[in-house]
Amino acid sequence: MVAASADEGTNSLMEGPDEHGRFGRFGGRFVPETLVPACAELEDAFRSAWADDGFRAEFHSLLTDYAGRPSPLTDCVNLSTELGFRILLKREDLNHTGSHKINNVLGQTLLAKRMGKSRIVAETGAGQHGVATATAAAYFGQECVVYMGEVDIARQALNVYRMQLLGAEVRPARSGSRTLKDAVNEAMREWVASVESSYYCLGSVMGPHPYPWMVREFHRTIGREAFDQSTALLDGGLPDVVVACIGGGSNAVGIFSGFVDTDVELVGVEPAGGAAVARGVPGVVHGSMSFLMQDEFGQVQEAQSVSAGLDYPGVGPEHAFLADVGRARYEAVTDSEVLDAFELLSRTEGIIPALEPAHGLAWMIRARDELAGKTVLLNLSGRGDKDVAQVQAIRQGDPAALDTVDFSRTNGDAV
């Protein structure tokens, strides 16, 4: 496939959102009246910062000198031979802190500093956004509080300790499913209560405007790099398909941004137990309208995934828009398929993926006949160190081993 351009422009499909924060019919700002001024303040601050060459220069300097960008493109010869099509990996797992999350977090904490906010509040699912936020807060000397579902604290104990080691306070969310959705709820409540002094560092392309737009812009670096690296590797060509996992969808929007205005097929892969695009209907959650898993009474259904980072009943509004206009395709895979993919990449290439991007590989394995002879680029959004103990427990027949946690040694709600 011949390359066209990776540059964002006035005719780009990712030019939006509009003045109301909407991508087509999705997005917007559905928040309590007390948060309207905070969202407006944040939008004004981001517009000013993003138009400031000095801010952008400092941000890109941090990406290079602190996060370790650009992340490389890996040609997977062994796995490609086994599956019958060429597989390229965008190695976001090699960034500082082990995932793509550091891009967005460095941008937002730098913005918080510019706004005079010294206290950072965040949510996390698998812990990678929490670790990245705690890392950046330590770097900038900011106080950091991270909300994490009680179930996720149990299955991601390593990342909990990493956050604590970095100086963050980790607070369990004990309501609902006790996973990512509930951590977002608690973080947003905290923001409402302390909006004058705190900055909410949201971890994905979801939430009220301007978050989906702002987080996308901070992750565009993935798509730009992947476009340039692909054309260099493929003698001026592009991959036939670009694949990324989808929870909220920040890593996917990041890599899709480099290819959305080309003819490359875009495939987002969701967990079967949280397939918001495949099984959801339009609804509002966490401040924006998007596809959302709901029952017949409009109540949010609980998502289920072996991956804590994708355990979310909705999807970022820009993904809903891309699905709505037919530009991106969204598939769902089972936990069993994900575990097999996790082990296959580890065995064939010596690369242990996070369970999140293993979803993308799981779909590629299932679709191997469809993909035969093609070149497929997978965004390897994180490394799998955090998931090894969980997978080991599951493979040993004890999946419940990591679903409980003892808070007896904690001080109040902080762990």
| Interval 336-364: pLDDT, tens | 999 999 999 999 999 999 999 999 999 99
pLDDT value at position 415?
37
Residue 413 reports pLDDT greater than 50:
no
Q: How confident is the model at residue 400 (pLDDT cuts 50, 70, 90)?
A: low
Model confidence over 1-23: pLDDT tens digits? Answer: 656 545 555 579 999 899 999 99
User: Tell me, what's the pLDDT at 403?
Assistant: 47
**Integer Cα distance of 300 and 302 in angstroms:** 7
User: For residue 404, is pLDDT > 50?
Assistant: no
- 370 band by pLDDT with thresholds 50, 70 and 90: very high
Q: Of the listed 39, 96, 100, 286, which one is catalytic?
A: 100
The yes-or-no verdict on residue 181 having pLDDT over 90 is no
Range picked from 31-35, 237-241, 405-409 for highest mean pLDDT: 237-241
286 is catalytic: no
In the block, tokens 């952008």 appear at 56
Mean pLDDT, the chain, whole residue set: 92
Query: What are the pLDDT digits (tens) for 77-120?
Result: 999 999 999 999 999 999 999 999 999 999 999 999 999 999 99
Torsions phi, psi of 75, nearest 5?
-90, 110
Q: How confident is residue 399, by pLDDT bands cut at 50, 70 and 90?
A: low
Say if CB 391 and CB 342 are below 8 A apart.
yes
Can you tell me whether residue 135 is helix, strand or coil? helix
Topology match between the domains 22-65+101-211 and 73-98+220-402: yes
Which residue ranges make up each domain of the chain?
22-65+101-211, 73-98+220-402
Specify whether domain 22-65+101-211 bears CATH 3.40.50.1100: yes
Considering only CA atoms, give the Rg of the chain: 20
Whether the Cβ atoms of residue 213 and residue 204 lie closer than 8 Å to each other: no
Residues of the chain with pLDDT > 90: what percent? Answer: 81
SS3 helix, strand, coil % of the chain, rounded to 5?
Answer: 45, 20, 35
CATH match for 73-98+220-402 among 3.40.50.1100, 3.30.230.10, 3.50.30.50, 3.40.718.10: 3.40.50.1100
Q: Find the catalytic residue in 20, 39, 60, 76.
A: 76
Whether residue 186 is predicted with pLDDT greater than 90 in this model: the reply is yes
Asked if the model's pLDDT at residue 414 lies above 60, the reply is no
Judged against a pLDDT cut of 50, whether residue 32 lies above it is answered with yes
Q: Is the pLDDT of residue 158 over 70?
A: yes
Tell me, what amino acid is at 139? Answer: Y
Judge whether 219 counts as a catalytic residue: no
Query: Rounded to two decimals, what is the model's pTM?
Result: 0.93
